[in-house]
Amino acid sequence: MSTIISIVGPRHNHSYTHTIMRSLRRFECLAVLLVVFALEGVSAADRYFVSKDVKLWYVEDGQGLPVVLIHGLTVDSDWQWGEPGITKALAQNYRVIAFDCRGHGRGDKPHESAAYGIEMVEDVCRLLDHLKIKKAHIVGYSLGSSIALKLLVSHPERCSSVIIGDTAVYHEHYDFSAEDKAARNMGLVSSAEEVMPKPPPEAPASVVRRREAWVGMPHDFKAYAAALQSLSALRVSDAELRANRVPTLGLFCKADSRTEYLTNHLSNFKTAFIGGSHQDGFLRPEFLDNLKAFLDAERDKEKRIP
């Protein structure tokens, strides 16, 4: 189970400090963008698409082969990819598409578990259809990687390659009891302050500011709970993993049972270790360096195909 999932509950409260370290700057950048859109007459509606009656927000940057970025639970595409500079770095050579998953960010937030699960996978296909893209390189982190892995086995024809960052692997033997407990706890949350109490007086001012920024985000904890309740629908079978023909890279903070399982069961898979923790792994230079190297190698491979 991912660390982002496990933060619900008193003994995990301090983990949120790591996951919101850059929230303040995210909101400052978003405010600037809104002013720019207003001055240029760009409608925010131009960045939405409807996926089976659920309105979702997305953004594009750059040109070249398409790369779709899928964020993790309780965050959004700007926090995960935009503010850390990953979108801009990839956009130098690729057409980067990042979207807010259902239940998160600027899109709709259903409260029924049936609205999540496999629908989060189909959202990627519907976004590609909306943009008239046949296939793309798919990049995920945490929950986004679980979505990407399910996409890999259910719609391999839409994947040029798949990069999964520090994900849970919902294989056919996986025990979902921890996710079920997290969903129950998440459903009881009524405000962000319950999850992230005020830090102690000796906490650095930067931590206090970032905590306040995270608390101010438009969280919908019932939507998060519904997403958690649906995770068994992202299960992948051993046979599906063995049948994979799509180049796949795993970027993990450390070697553990997840990497061992994928190495033993997933064909066309290689892995790299980036250090750090689940909360900050995607912020480490090793994450972006390995991601770019893998994408560049796949791009060059495509160029050599007659």
Which two tokens mark 303? 């160029």
pTM (global) more than 0.95: no
Closest CA to 224 of 192, 177, 258: 192
Question: For tokens 């046979």, what's the residue?
Answer: 239
DSSP sequence for 253-304: SS--HHHHHHHHH-TTEEEEE--S-TTTGGGSHHHHHHHHHHHHHHHHHHHH
Query: What amino acid is encoded at 249 in this protein?
Result: L
Which two tokens mark 50? 């409807």
Beta carbons within 10 angstroms of residue 80's beta carbon: 27
Which pLDDT belongs to residue 190?
A: 85
Beta bridge partners of 250: 164, 271
Which pLDDT belongs to residue 20?
A: 36
Which pLDDT belongs to residue 248?
A: 98
Measured CA distances, 157 to 26, 154, 164, 241 (Å): 34, 9, 17, 15
Closest CA to 188 of 238, 146, 224, 141: 224
For residues 281 and 163, is the Cβ–Cβ distance under 8 A?
Answer: no
Closest CA to 295 of 67, 78, 85: 67
- All structural domains of the chain with their residue ranges: 5-301
Measured CA distances, 20 to 208, 212, 251 (Å): 11, 10, 21
Which pLDDT belongs to residue 213?
A: 61
Which pLDDT belongs to residue 193?
A: 84
Which pLDDT belongs to residue 255?
A: 96
> How far is 96 from 59, CA to CA, in rounded Å?
8
Using CB atoms within 10 Å of the CB of residue 186, give its burial: 0 to 12 exposed, 13 to 18 middle, 19+ buried.
buried
Which pLDDT belongs to residue 45?
A: 33
CA angle 42, 110, 100 (to 5 degrees): 40
Which pLDDT belongs to residue 207?
A: 59
Q: Domain 5-301 - what CATH class?
A: alpha beta
Q: In tens digits, what is the pLDDT along the chain, a chain of 306 residues?
A: 443 333 333 333 444 333 333 333 333 333 333 333 333 333 333 489 999 999 999 999 999 999 999 999 988 898 889 888 999 999 999 999 999 999 999 999 999 999 999 999 999 999 999 999 999 999 999 999 999 999 999 999 999 999 999 999 999 999 999 999 999 999 998 887 887 788 888 887 855 654 676 677 789 999 999 999 999 999 999 999 999 999 999 999 999 999 999 999 999 999 999 999 998 899 999 999 999 999 999 999 887 766
